[in-house]
Amino acid sequence: QVQLVESGGGLVQAGGSLRLSCAASGSIFSIDAMGWYRQAPGKQRELVATVTSGGRTNYADSVKGRFTISRDSTNNTLYLRMNSLKPEDAAVYYCYCNAVIRPGAASAGYWGQGTQVTVSS
């Protein structure tokens, strides 16, 4: 199994910055991709940004130019640097990992417990 633990959320004023972290641990053979999703009250969970094992990144249009996703492959830690935060960015942010836990096994998706980001106006 793979365990994902997010950290770095909190309360920030509009225009401020935060950096989220996600530490992956457990029986990991390889990681195909990791990403950040978010869910605001009353809304569906939505993709924020992803990064593949090859380093390719993708961003939601709403965060492009403000957020930066990165991954430290040496310790399987994912980061999300959030700049110029807006009240619309307030949500619970979830870490996602698509991983293979043993050779020959199919990949599977894993989720963290989430970390709250609150943006004051």
Amino acid at 25: S
Cα separation, 95 vs 79, in Å, equals 9
Average pLDDT of the residues in 103-110 = 95
Task: For residues 6 and 84, give the distance between their C-alpha atoms in angstroms, rounded to a whole number.
Answer: 21
CA-wise closest residue to 89 among 32, 40, 27: 40
Q: Does residue 92 carry a pLDDT above 90?
A: yes
> What is the arithmetic mean of pLDDT over 67-78?
94
What is the CA 93 to chain-centroid distance, rounded?
7
pLDDT classification of 13: cutoffs 50, 70, 90: very high
**pLDDT band, residue 1 (cuts 50/70/90):** confident
The b/e string for 86-100 (b: 16+ C-beta within 10 A; e otherwise) is: eeebbbbbbbbbbbb
Q: Identify the pLDDT of residue 52.
A: 94
Cβ neighbours for 48, distance < 8 A, ≥ 6 positions apart: 35, 36, 37, 38, 59, 60, 63, 67, 69, 80, 93
